[in-house]
Structure 1
Amino acid sequence: MHFSTIIATAAALFLGAEAGAVPRQDPHITDFRIWSEQGCGAAGNLGVWTITKSQTDACQTTFNAPDNVVKAIRLSSLTEGCEMMAYPTADCGEGGRQVGVQTCEEWSDIADNFLSFKVTCS
């Protein structure tokens, strides 16, 4: 009886090992951090955003930052074939800037803010 239990357990493990990896339902595209101060340093760190495939190709009309003050953005990673644009308007309109990976993107005029963004993938 003990032998049959071992065989049944081994068979269950073997069959379970045959299962393939489950693909992610909404693949990760990028992570980025925003700041209320220029410089991408310790001061003004407002936290991290994560963007998944379902959030691409649509204007994100706000960063949800206090008083809409976003002075700097830094991409941690970005899926190949994708790009992020950040805008000084709330509708992803004119004046967008491409945000590079591991680059602190900020306006030269300290009075300007990033108000919206869009991640697109080809």
Structure 2
Amino acid sequence: MQFTTLIVAAASLALGTNAAALRRDGARLAQFRIFGAEGCKALNYGFYTVDYTDIGVCNAITADVESVNLEVQTADAAGCTLFIYSDANCSAGETATSVNVCSDVPEETESWGSYQILC
């Protein structure tokens, strides 16, 4: 019986350790919501979080996104700007976001493709 308890305890510890490794490091800097239609009202696909470890890193947006709304930018992000791009490499169509301002994809582009935060 004690052996079974020991096995269960070891398995719980291993699962807890793996879950901790999946968590992101650093403070949350921002959160933005993505939409599949212009105007930030229809086809809500959910949100992305931006953490301290994202500073200067290009991140792909994995859905067909036509509008973005920066919902929150924390005090930890003072002096930082979240940019969205019309390509997957953070190199075309750079647009700075502002809190609670809907950013529609430019007419010549099909969807937003990536984001990064710069401080």
With normalisation by structure 2, the TM-score equals 0.71
Question: What residue in structure 2 maps to residue 119 of structure 1?
Answer: 117
Partner of 1:59: 58
Q: CA deviation at 1:110?
A: 7.8
Q: Which residue of 1 aligns with 2:39?
A: 39
* Whole-Å separation in 2 of the counterparts to 1:36 and 1:107: 10
Q: Is 2:64 the counterpart of 1:76?
A: no
- How many residues are paired up? 92
TM-score by length of 1: 0.69
SS at match of 2:61: coil
Q: Which amino acid aligns with 1:26?
A: G
- Residue by residue, what CA displacement relative to the aligned partner does 1:98-119 show, whole Å, maximum 9, x if unpaired? 1111100013428521001111
Q: Which runs of 5+ in 2 are unaligned?
A: 1-24
Instruction: Give the SS at the match of 1:63.
Output: strand
Q: Runs of 4+ in structure 1 displaced over 2 angstroms?
A: none
Distance of 2:81 and 2:109 partners within structure 1: 25
Match of 2:94 in 1: 96
Kept in 1: contact 2:33–2:71 (CA 8 A):
yes
Distance in 2 between the 1:114 and 1:107 partners? 6
User: How many angstroms apart in 1 are the aligned matches of 2:36 and 2:84?
Assistant: 15
Which of the two has greater helix per residue?
A: 2
2:86·2:105 contact (CA, 8 Å) conserved in 1?
no
- Aligned equivalents of 1:101, 1:74: Cα separation in 2: 7
Whole-angstrom CA distance in 2 between matches of 1:93 and 1:110:
15
CA distance 1:110–1:40, change in 2 (3 Å): farther
In structure 2, C-alpha distance between the alignment counterparts of 1:48 and 1:110, rounded to whole Å: 24
Corresponding residue for residue 29 of structure 1: 29
Residues 15-72 of structure 1 deviation map (CA, whole Å, 9 limit, x = unaligned): xxxxxxxxxx61110011000111111x210001111101121111x2122xxx1100
